Amino acid sequence: MIDKKRISEAVASIISSYKLPERPDGLYRPIEYALDCGGKRLRPSLLLASCMAVGGKIEEAESAALGIEMFHNFTLLHDDVMDRADMRRGRPTVHVKWNDVTAILSGDAMLTLAGSLITEVPDCVLRKVLAMFNRTAMEVYEGQQYDMDFEHRNDVSVDEYMAMIRLKTSVLLGCACAIGATTGGAGDKDVDAFYSYGENLGLAFQLRDDWLDTYGDAEVFGKAIGGDIVNRKKTWLLISALRERTEELSGILSEDLEDGELIRQVKEVYDSLHLSERCDVLINSYAEKAVSALDKVAMPDSDRKYFTELALSLSQRDK
Amino acid sequence: MIDKKRISEAVASIISSYKLPERPDGLYRPIEYALDCGGKRLRPSLLLASCMAVGGKIEEAESAALGIEMFHNFTLLHDDVMDRADMRRGRPTVHVKWNDVTAILSGDAMLTLAGSLITEVPDCVLRKVLAMFNRTAMEVYEGQQYDMDFEHRNDVSVDEYMAMIRLKTSVLLGCACAIGATTGGAGDKDVDAFYSYGENLGLAFQLRDDWLDTYGDAEVFGKAIGGDIVNRKKTWLLISALRERTEELSGILSEDLEDGELIRQVKEVYDSLHLSERCDVLINSYAEKAVSALDKVAMPDSDRKYFTELALSLSQRDK
């Protein structure tokens, strides 16, 4: 049975009590910095909740939970180098605070540490869990590659976009749930159900992220609104709008407009197509898919409520 | 018993028959390019030889052998980005042929693929082998970090240098031997002996590399001689010379000499200290240490000869 307080305490404690070697400084301090980024700690929480929901022991899944969070923070670190992102969660990124070389090497070390932490699951599930983790990692890299490929293409379809965010974001949430359930002793069918929960939750999560970047409240969201539009980022909103208003939108995007004006004009096109509402409907449909994936898994009502409320809160989050 | 022909055929076959997914192109083609670099394939050969020498089945170690080679090529790929190296083994490096972003992401994928290949050892040794691999990977990153730190220091001691090359180069050779012996069914003592063989072989190997960069034959060695001197790289030769001729050498290095003249003057200092011969003595002592590490391991004479001849040939190699 899920104990929410126990999960949040466990997540906080595995991260704060994790100790790295002192030297060499240049390798280990950036890892501590990257891991100490705050954030929702969604992936380790999902992993531990899935383990508890199937009746598993939380202690047996704690290292894997930290491993998944370590992997996630490694991907953010290397993605920030690749995307030349200067800030993350209100702080300079590692390659800005240190340099590119440090960001590359410390990231590599984080990936190895993640894999090493994952191995601390019980013997009986070791091979299964490692296979899930390694397959998922490859999918995440594929997602990042497609995301970068899309920058240079003007004919990305909505289906391609959904396939990309599934790889880049969703599979890791699915993997976190599946590793938790597997470590907790669930059978293959239930593990698949937990994977599907995380995967669909991830799609809802990422679409909400895209939506917030255009329709969020800058103060609550914590970053300037419209960044995706300014960067011509191929989000669900832009791809959908381009499909229906190709010429008009291409015209606006190719003009040399001032940022605020560009955002206003693009949003006007979005609004005329009711894209905000349509995106919201899509987000909710993925959140519902997530919840119904767990329908056939036996668990206490209060546990089901945990997963349902999480899906609801993530798909309606304002930050 | 070691079958040299079988080892070289197995190494060639595991690399040539390894298939990666078609898409995304930008992720997988650079991996094929990096893996298809030729080279001595020393690490997989050592792994398979160590497995056979303790009576193990070569098939059970083949994936791990490929995993170790994949890991090695991953470190070269990321090191080349960090060191801004344009060429490797006569070909443009990945970040030159493609770009930095590709080199980072494909390297990450190679590290995950390496870890995944390593897991294909038999169940009974899985945990042990993974622990060795993950610990070694961390040591290799530490070595790379120290190597970069040394660039900004003028007081690096010979001991610090030896500790650095042990981490950056030797431990992976030790790990290859130890994984091979473990997979082949060796007990802890024998595994440690194989590790020590690889570790000392690695020290001899790296020192010979430093020696060749100054005293090698450009045509045989395949690259220009004196690059380390021009780059003021803190090799065993430079560190040893700086200790005994601090002022004279610092003076030469700080002058704005033309490359050829700089190399000539530094070599003159080296020669006056008989550093070529002293380096050679040191190399041979590590090669001997490597061989004697195997003294207490029971194996056929022909197998012992294989490891002895390998140590000899690597420590006297001209390329």
- Beta-ladder partners of A87: A92
CA nearest to A81 within chain B: B101
Of A82, A113, A145, the CB nearest to B27: A145
What is the percent of chain A with per-residue pLDDT over 70, rounded to a whole number? 100
Question: ipTM beyond 0.90?
Answer: yes
Nearest Cβ partner of A142 from B27, B144, B145? B27
**Closest Cα of chain A to B99: distance in Å?**
10
Helical segments of B157-258, H only: 158-165, 171-183, 188-215, 218-221, 227-230, 236-244, 246-254
CA distance B109 to A137: 8
C-alpha A7/C-alpha A12 separation (Å) is 9
Partner-chain residue, chosen from A107, A115, A146, that has the shortest CB–CB distance to B115: A115
Residue numbers in A near B81 (CB within 8 A): 104
- What residues of chain A lie within 8 A of the CB of B29, using their CB? none
CB contact under 8 A, B145 and A113: no
Quickly count: other Cβ atoms within 10 Å of residue B91's Cβ: 14
* pLDDT at residue A18 in the model: 97
Residues of chain A predicted below pLDDT 70: none
CA dihedral A119, A122, A126, A132 (to 10 degrees): -80
Of A216, A211, A214, A225, which Cα lies nearest the Cα of A278?
A211
Q: Which residues from A are below 8 Å from B101, CB to CB?
A: 82, 148
Query: What are the per-10-residue average pLDDT scores of chain B (319 residues)?
Result: 95 97 98 93 98 98 98 97 91 96 98 98 98 98 96 93 98 98 98 98 97 92 88 95 95 95 97 98 98 97 97 94
Retrieve residue B259's tokens: 């490359």
Q: Which residue on chain B is closest to A83 by alpha carbon?
A: B101
Q: How far apart are CA B312 and CA A11, in angstroms?
A: 53
Question: CB–CB of A101 and B134 under 8 A?
Answer: no
pLDDT in tens, B189-234: 999 999 999 999 999 999 999 999 999 998 888 778 999 999 999 9
Residue A39 is predicted with a pLDDT of 87
From CA B73, how far away is CA B31, in angstroms rounded? 9
Q: Which residues are CB-neighbours of B314 under 8 A, at least 6 positions away?
A: B42, B201, B204, B205, B208, B287
Cβ pair B134:A141 closer than 8 A:
no
How many CB atoms within 10 Å of residue A217? 11
Q: Are A49 and A97 in contact (CB under 8 A)?
A: no
Query: Nearest residue on chain B to A125, judged by CA atoms?
Result: B123
Find chain B residues with C-beta within 8 A of A123's C-beta: 127
User: Using one digit for the tens of pLDDT, what is the confidence trace for B70-87?
Assistant: 999 999 999 999 999 999
Using the beta-carbon criterion (under 8 Å), do A119 and B131 form an inter-chain contact? yes
H or E segment and range at residue A92: strand A91-92
Cβ–Cβ gap B108/A112 under 8 Å = no
User: Residue A113, class by beta-carbon neighbours within 10 Å (0-12 exposed, 13-18 middle, 19+ buried)?
Assistant: buried
Contacts of B141 in chain A (CB under 8 A): 27, 105, 108-109, 112
| pTM across the whole model | 0.97
Q: How many Å separate Cα A29 from the centre of its chain?
A: 24
CA of A25: which chain B residue's CA is closest? B145
Q: Where are the alpha helices (DSSP H) in chain B?
A: 4-16, 25-35, 42-53, 58-82, 94-97, 100-118, 123-151, 158-165, 171-183, 188-215, 218-221, 227-230, 236-244, 246-254, 259-272, 275-293, 301-315
- The values of phi and psi at residue A87, to 5°, are -125, 145
Q: Which H or E run includes A265?
A: helix A259-272
Q: Which residues of A touch B134 (CB under 8 A)?
A: 112, 115-116, 119
Q: Given an 8 Å threshold on Cβ–Cβ distance, is A145 in contact with B82? A: no
